[in-house]
């Protein structure tokens, strides 16, 4: 099989590695990849050698974590999927792989296209920005950072009952935000930003900010626009690859005096009404990653969520380095990127 391996900053190679598909263990699943998606923010940071994330693998390392493939074989004890199922996993960019049925995966409904379904786990993370912050229907939400993840949060918000304003720095992406369901779009450097947000919320203020952008100026916008006692749901890797700060990120005027909550979108969300049938020690939580991904897929199946509308580039896997170089160059026209693994 073929796999993308990053040997160092900007040194991405497609390599051949062996894959034994003839001797599957009882709990193993053999998958052939059809497409994988580029998660530009995170993958670009890895590619350019930005600040390492704790727990991330060292070089040489795999890249990517949005993979859609066909189950080609299963072990004798596998009951979670069947041969022929299309499944979405968080496996790397690679042509085929063997995983176990305990790994993270969801089955794509028949009426959901490959190019929508491959975003199931990424959009589950967009949804988790709401879950972790205990969002309630009727609240106003500002999404700061309009990459694929941020636009996912824009699209999901109205389906959850949010009134959403998208705040960005690029006209192309702000237009996409409107197409994905934003009730309003505003430029982050608009001198009338606060006034326009007050108009948008009827003076009540922004209840929740979903922050998906890494740069510190985006963080500053988030803590400035959220209302007193509001929440900022942070899914970005703040400051990754950025210069040293020229302001205090926990300045009294933005944090203590406003009484806001800064929420890291990592780990379980917690749930007030856990399933009592769960065994002690298990996460009795309806917001597990795979369950949320399955919910996202159901929204796609109903025609209410269509991530493929954000796809701007499609590449054969052999052109992957070219795509990463475009991401490295911060091509603003580049948003959704799909790699085709079919020969």
Tens-digit pLDDT profile for residues 237-274: 888 777 788 888 898 988 999 999 999 998 888 777 76
User: Cα–Cα distances in Å, from 202 out to 121, 140, 141, 166, 197?
Assistant: 34, 10, 13, 17, 8
Residue 283 has a pLDDT of 46
Report CA torsion sign: 137, 140, 236, 261. Answer: negative
Could you give the CA distance from residue 229 to residue 257 in angstroms, rounded to a whole number?
9
pTM: 0.91
Span 15-65, pLDDT tens digits: 999 999 999 999 999 999 999 999 887 788 888 886 666 566 788 999 999
Whether residue 30 contacts residue 73, with contact meaning beta carbons closer than 8 Å, is answered with: yes
Query: Measured between alpha carbons, how far is 318 from 322 in angstroms, rounded to an integer?
Result: 9
Confidence of residue 212 (pLDDT cuts 50, 70, 90): very high
Is residue 224 exposed (0-12), middle (13-18) or buried (19+ Cβ within 10 Å)?
A: middle
In the Cβ-directed half-sphere of 274, how many Cα atoms lie within 13 Å? 15
Beta partners for residue 287, in sequence order: none
**pLDDT for 110-139, tens place per residue?**
999 999 999 999 999 999 999 999 999 999
pLDDT tens by residue, 32-42: 999 999 988 77
Distance CA 260, CA 228 (A): 6
Q: What is the DSSP string of 78-127?
A: --S--TT-EEEE---SBSEEEEETTSSEEEPPTTS-HHHHTTHHHHHHHH
The structural domains of the chain, with segments of one domain joined by +, span 2-121+308-340, 134-264
Mean pLDDT of 280-303: 81
Q: What would be the CATH architecture of the domain defined by 134-264?
A: 3-Layer(aba) Sandwich (3.40)
Q: How many whole angstroms separate alpha carbon 92 and alpha carbon 5?
A: 9
Per-residue pLDDT at 274:
67
**Pairwise CA distance, residues 237 & 242, whole Å:** 10
Work out the angle at residue 277's Cα, subtended by the Cα atoms of residues 130 and 120, and round it to the nearest 5 degrees. Answer: 35
| pLDDT tier at 279, thresholds 50, 70, 90 | low
CATH code of the region 2-121+308-340: 3.90.180.10
Q: Where are the alpha helices (DSSP H) in the chain?
A: 40-48, 114-117, 120-132, 148-160, 171-179, 193-200, 216-225, 289-301, 320-328
3-state secondary structure of 312: strand
């Amino acid at each position: 099989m073929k796999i993308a391996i990053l040997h160092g900053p900007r040194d991405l190679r497609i390599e051949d590695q062996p894959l034994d598909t003839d001797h599957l263990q009882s709990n193993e699943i053999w998958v052939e990849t059809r497409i994988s998606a580029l998660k530009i923010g995170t993958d670009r940071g890895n590619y350019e050698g930005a600040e390492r994330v704790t727990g991330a693998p060292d070089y040489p390392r795999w890249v990517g974590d949005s993979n859609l493939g066909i189950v080609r074989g299963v072990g004798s004890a596998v009951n979670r999927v069947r041969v022929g199922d299309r499944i979405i996993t968080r496996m790397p960019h690679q042509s085929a792989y063997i995983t176990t049925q305990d790994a993270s995966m969801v089955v794509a409904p028949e009426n959901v296209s490959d190019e929508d379904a491959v975003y199931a786990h990424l959009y589950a993370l967009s949804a988790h920005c709401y879950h972790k912050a205990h969002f309630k229907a009727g609240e106003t939400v500002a999404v700061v950072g309009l990459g694929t993840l941020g636009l996912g949060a824009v699209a999901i918000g109205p389906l959850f009952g949010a009134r959403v304003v998208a705040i960005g720095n690029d006209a192309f992406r702000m237009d996409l935000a409107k197409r994905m369901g934003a009730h309003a779009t505003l430029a982050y450097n608009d001198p009338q930003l606060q006034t326009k947000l007050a108009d948008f919320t009827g003076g009540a203020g922004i209840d929740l900010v979903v922050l998906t952008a890494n740069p510190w100026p985006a963080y500053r916008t988030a803590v400035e626009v959220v209302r007193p006692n509001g929440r900022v749901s942070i899914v970005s890797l703040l400051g990754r690859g950025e210069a040293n700060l020229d302001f205090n990120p926990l300045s009294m005027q933005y944090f203590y005096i406003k009484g806001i909550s800064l929420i890291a979108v990592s780990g379980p969300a917690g749930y007030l009404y856990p399933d009592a049938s769960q065994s002690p020690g298990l996460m009795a939580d309806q917001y597990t990653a795979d369950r949320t991904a399955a919910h996202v897929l159901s929204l796609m199946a109903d025609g209410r969520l269509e991530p493929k509308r954000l796809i701007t580039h499609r590449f054969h896997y052999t052109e992957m380095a070219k795509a990463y170089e475009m991401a490295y160059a911060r091509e603003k026209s580049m948003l959704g990127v799909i790699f085709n693994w079919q020969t």
